[in-house]
Amino acid sequence: MHIINNIINFLMSPAYADAAAPAQQSGGGFSLMLMTGVFILFMYFVIWRPQSKRAKEQRNLLSSLAKGDEVVTVSGMLGRIAKINDNYVQLALADNIEITLQKSAIAGALPKGTLKSINI
């Protein structure tokens, strides 16, 4: 039995309480509240605010679309708006090639004349 205790003591050193060390005081509730507040502010400025700003810009873009605007879709297709209604857009990609897609598939508006200048 004594041999087993020696092996266990060799592998794992025993932990003794240090009676001379003073008890450490924790930061208390104020530091926890401060850290929580900083975390919430961080989440607001890094995640929520930029995301809501991008969503607002996208809503403004979709509401300002008109017939003849040159746009790019989320899939990367470029075209000119031929027809538009509340939820759908008919996009002219080339002569006699038109597709119908949802308004939400439009990623951005292009400056006038972009399609003519690309002309690949």
Is 97 strand, coil or helix? strand
pLDDT per residue as tens digits for the range 14-50:
666 665 555 565 556 788 899 999 999 999 999 999 9
Is 107 a member of any domain?
yes
* Rounded Cα distance, 99 and 75, in Å: 13
Residue 65: which residues within 8 A CB-CB, separation 6 or more? 71, 81, 84, 89, 103, 106, 109
Phi (first) and psi of residue 71, to 5 degrees: -135, 165
Is 96 a member of any domain?
yes
pTM, entire model: 0.61
* Predicted pLDDT at 15: 67
Number of domains making up the chain: 1
The domain that contains 78 carries what CATH number? 2.30.30
- Do 112 and 104 form a contact (C-beta atoms < 8 A)? no
Q: Which domain holds residue 89?
A: 65-118
Is 16 a member of any domain?
no
